[in-house]
Copies of this chain bind each other. A is one copy, B any other.
Amino acid sequence: MATGNLDKQKTIDLRKKHVGPSCKVFFSHDPIKIVRARGQYMYNEKDEKYLDCINNVAHVGHCHPDVVEAGAKQMELLNTNSRFLHDNLVLYAQRLQATLPEKLSVCYFVNSGSEANDLALRLAWQYTGHKDIITLENAYHGHVSSLIDISPYKFHQMAVAEPSQHVHVALSPDIYRGKYCEDHPDPATAYAENVKDIIEQAHKKGRKIAAFIAESLQSCGGQVIPPVGYFQKVAQHVRNAGGVFIADEVQVGFGRVGTHFWGFQLQGEDFVPDIVTMGKPIGNGHPMSCYFNTVRRIKKTKHTFGGNPVSCAIGLAVLDVIEKEDLQGNALHIGSYLTQLLDDLKKRHLLVGDVRGRGLFIGLDLVRNRDKRTPATAEAQDVIYRLKEQRILLSADGPHRNVLKFKPPMCFSREDAELVVEKIDQILTDLEKTLGLQMSEAVISENGHTKRKVILQVM
């Protein structure tokens, strides 16, 4: 079996010949061929090292030896379906449950985040007997049909103008680009009221709400952090309408937000979703996913699923590594440090409109005009291409593709943070020179401690 031996051009040619064109590569003009990876680093066919700021799937670090060993050992022993009793399945379910509020006690394993979210919808439909789903602007919940229907991020790409009849799109609770911003007295209530309005409109048409679904922090949607209290208020409206609240943790779970193990916990101790879905970081790259619900609210279902002994062995090893290496703590500390470095960038670069994030889930929102918050889409593309030349992997996302998106393996270090920020600093300086954007001396000296109007100078 050949691995990594083809000439790069040959790999590209074979890919064009055999693999569907919609299976995209990063940096399509000059894609990267990666042959090995370790921790937060990936290596190309010339053994050149790339710093990986994007692969949240390799949650505890690429090819973590403990995870590889657990998977390999179990593969040698047994890999079969969950119709036989096996300790890995039950021990893993028990272990995962322990990270969640007690009410979220019923667990199913499937093979991908998409399968987990599809299952969540089905159970919501069955349990409530209702059909309608409320989703957020720019949301992405997976690539199977039922989820494309509820993923504006996806159905807009596919040039589907209108969502399906049973899908309602609520305002994204984005306090930087949304309808209610940081200057609004109570954006949490205001955004939740929008959900309430949608429910009322639906009821007027004789429709009924089965579920509200949201990522605990919106990822593809542009690294959006919902204001605290928003989920509680939304859940109340949705439950009053007989629906359930689904928190999608596929991108943001497993300690990434630093202060908590799950993203939804950022909303406060009093908030418990009815359903939580988990995805790829769960297996550090191994295809697996999971789903928890509260017994009280959802009982009926019929299926058989994933959760084979190999997946569960890998899942257990991932949890062990997170604990042993205190990766949640690392996400908190390095994430805070990286955020602080990026905040400093904002003080020196007009192109930086907003820095937002929790733990190692951070967005740098680039703008052409700070007052108007005009998305700097082309500039964001420029930044990621130039970073790639410096062997740093970063991506731009959000509805305008202008948000630089940090979600590195959780073993990301201080030095990594300093390196990527130093490079971005240089690139932004260059870009601003070309664009004729410059901070005034006065603004720079203020050092960002007070709220101020930034002065835009065209040279």
Q: Are A144 and B146 in contact (CB under 8 A)?
A: yes
Q: Are A80 and B286 in contact (CB under 8 A)?
A: no
A158→B79 CA distance, assembly (Å): 29
A25 close to chain B: CB less than 8 A: yes
Q: Are A145 and B143 in contact (CB under 8 A)?
A: no
Known contacts A89-B19, A146-B145; decide if A158 and B302 are in contact (CB<8 Å): yes
Q: Are B108 and A3 in contact (CB under 8 A)?
A: no
Among the stretches A67-75, A177-185, A448-456, the one at the interface with B is: A67-75
Known contacts A24-B83, A37-B80; decide if A107 and B18 are in contact (CB<8 Å): yes
Question: Which residues of B sit under 8 angstroms from A214, Cβ to Cβ?
Answer: none
A313 close to chain B: CB less than 8 A: yes
A82 close to chain B: CB less than 8 A: yes
A82→B31 CA distance, assembly (Å): 11
Nearest B-chain residue to A96, judged by Cβ: B18
A206 close to chain B: CB less than 8 A: no
Known contacts A22-B303, A35-B78, A63-B79; decide if A11 and B84 are in contact (CB<8 Å): no
A288 close to chain B: CB less than 8 A: yes
A111 close to chain B: CB less than 8 A: yes
The SS class assigned to the A binding surface is mixed
Q: Are A1 and B320 in contact (CB under 8 A)?
A: yes
Among the stretches A113-121, A261-269, A338-346, A425-433, the one at the interface with B is: A113-121
| Closest Cβ–Cβ distance, residue A424 to chain B (whole Å) | 21
Question: Which residues of B sit under 8 angstroms from A158, Cβ to Cβ?
Answer: 302
Nearest B-chain residue to A90, judged by Cβ: B14
A84→B118 CA distance, assembly (Å): 27
| Closest Cβ–Cβ distance, residue A322 to chain B (whole Å) | 14
A97→B15 CA distance, assembly (Å): 12
Known contacts A18-B106, A91-B14, A144-B115; decide if A84 and B26 are in contact (CB<8 Å): yes
Known contacts A23-B303, A72-B71, A303-B143; decide if A12 and B85 are in contact (CB<8 Å): yes
Question: Which residues of B sit under 8 angstroms from A286, Cβ to Cβ?
Answer: 79, 310
A391 close to chain B: CB less than 8 A: no
| Closest Cβ–Cβ distance, residue A269 to chain B (whole Å) | 23
Question: Which residues of B sit under 8 angstroms from A143, Cβ to Cβ?
Answer: 115, 303-305
| Closest Cβ–Cβ distance, residue A74 to chain B (whole Å) | 7
Q: Are B3 and A87 in contact (CB under 8 A)?
A: yes
Q: Are B146 and A33 in contact (CB under 8 A)?
A: no
Q: Are A62 and B87 in contact (CB under 8 A)?
A: no
A377 close to chain B: CB less than 8 A: no
| Closest Cβ–Cβ distance, residue A32 to chain B (whole Å) | 5
Q: Are A118 and B144 in contact (CB under 8 A)?
A: yes
Interface positions, chain A 329-358, Cβ under 8 Å from B, are: none
A453→B111 CA distance, assembly (Å): 50
Nearest B-chain residue to A320, judged by Cβ: B1
Interface string of A308-339 (1 = CB under 8 A from B): 11110100110010000000000000000000
A287 close to chain B: CB less than 8 A: yes
Known contacts A111-B287, A115-B115; decide if A316 and B79 are in contact (CB<8 Å): no
A76 close to chain B: CB less than 8 A: yes
A141→B155 CA distance, assembly (Å): 24
Question: Which residues of B sit under 8 angstroms from A251, Cβ to Cβ?
Answer: none
| Closest Cβ–Cβ distance, residue A30 to chain B (whole Å) | 10
Question: Which residues of B sit under 8 angstroms from A65, Cβ to Cβ?
Answer: 76
Contact of A87 (CB < 8 Å), options: B6, B20, B84: B6
The 12 sampled A-B contact pairs (Cβ below 8 Å) are A3-B77, A4-B86, A14-B94, A18-B106, A19-B106, A20-B301, A25-B83, A57-B80, A62-B78, A63-B75, A111-B112, A111-B114
Q: Which 9 A-B pairs have the closest CB atoms?
A: A72-B72, A14-B90, A18-B93, A79-B285, A33-B85, A145-B146, A34-B84, A111-B287, A287-B287
